[in-house]
Amino acid sequence: MILETLRNSSNLSETDRSIAQYLLNNTSELHELTITKLAHETYTSKGTIIRFCKKLGYGGFREFILRLMKEIGSDYLLSATIDRNRPFNDADTIETIKTNLSAMLKGTIDETKMDLDNHMVKQIADAALKAQQIYIFGKGESYLSGCVFKNSMAKIGHYCLMADEGGMALAYTSNCTVNDLAIFLSYSGVHRDYEVFAQELKASGVPIALITASPDCRLAKQASFVLTVPKSERVVGKVSNYSSLISFTYVLQIIYSEIFTHDYQENYRRKRETDQYIFKSFVEI
């Protein structure tokens, strides 16, 4: 995130720190800020500004400013002031809790959206469409996100198995083939049993997708596809898994939606018929 880089500028040169500080002090003026003005106000040059933008991974000044403006929208700014691990305390009112959670969760979705690799989403969606069977490995809240994805997929005729149900993970790992897809959901990326399963699956040629906040973890080294979500909360020492649950659910629903669009009219028909059947069964009962 650009804001984090600007705020933690100890690794920047003195010149770059002055640019970062000016941007942080003048966020309300970014929409009309020109490269000429920024260079003048920071006693630098246009070339220095362009090099600064490129150091942060952007092709030029305009691309950098547009991305920065997205990050500092009102929801993001409010979200950035909230502790993702402890978004409320024992003295907060219900109204404060409502406001904090709303801002935090909106901010989480915005951050996830900005960092999401569209090409990787498409690759995972394509792999899911080709798979004879999809196995989802997930624990805790990650498991719940997987269940939402599984239910959505079932309503358009694509069936997933939650690999950890009933202690069947080893059996599913043993029986996976190159025609299947294994999806691992792990925020921390640290699961010894999943590392073992992934090694076995990779050795068998099974495509593996990983959604994680730790793209450098050992599990990622076994994966064919890796989608990264923001690392915005601690693994241990938080009130709840608010951010990770929202990020995983959001990413999986984007993958589902990409799958849906591949045969939109047919999937819409199947989804509608399934919903009607379910509703009818409720009414008759």
Lowest mean pLDDT among 21-30, 139-148, 249-258, 272-281: 21-30
**Residue 217, phi then psi, degrees to nearest 5:** -70, 165
DSSP state of 161: E
pLDDT, greater one: 236 or 145: 145
pLDDT digits (tens, 9 = 90+) for 230-271: 888 888 888 888 889 999 999 999 999 999 999 999 999 999
Residue type, 26: N
Looking at the predicted structure, is the pLDDT value of residue 18 above 70?
Answer: yes
- pLDDT, residue 77, reads 55
Tell me the two tokens of residue 177. 């083939």
- pLDDT, residue 284, reads 62
Q: Which residue has the tokens 């909106």?
A: 106
For residues 135-164, give the mean pLDDT: 96
Average pLDDT of every residue of the chain: 90
Looking at the predicted structure, is the pLDDT value of residue 71 above 80?
Answer: no
For residues 193-213, give the mean pLDDT: 97
Query: Can you tell me the distance from the alpha carbon of 246 to that of 97, in angstroms, rounded to the nearest whole number?
Result: 17
pLDDT confidence of 63, banded at 50, 70, 90?
very high
Query: Can you tell me the distance from the alpha carbon of 87 to that of 239, in angstroms, rounded to the nearest whole number?
Result: 8
pLDDT digits (tens, 9 = 90+) for 112-130: 887 789 999 999 999 999 9
For residues 20-42, give the mean pLDDT: 89
Residue type, 95: E
Nearest to 230 by CA among 77, 105, 52, 67: 105
- pLDDT, residue 36, reads 95
Looking at the predicted structure, is the pLDDT value of residue 183 above 90?
Answer: yes
- pLDDT, residue 156, reads 96
Please name each of the domains of the chain with its CATH number: 2-72 (1.10.10.10), 118-277 (3.40.50.10490)
Query: Can you tell me the distance from the alpha carbon of 154 to that of 271, in angstroms, rounded to the nearest whole number?
Result: 9
Contact 247, 255 (CB under 8 A): no
Tell me the two tokens of residue 10. 């100890």
DSSP state of 232: -
- pLDDT, residue 79, reads 62
Query: Can you tell me the distance from the alpha carbon of 222 to that of 229, in angstroms, rounded to the nearest whole number?
Result: 18
- pLDDT, residue 255, reads 98
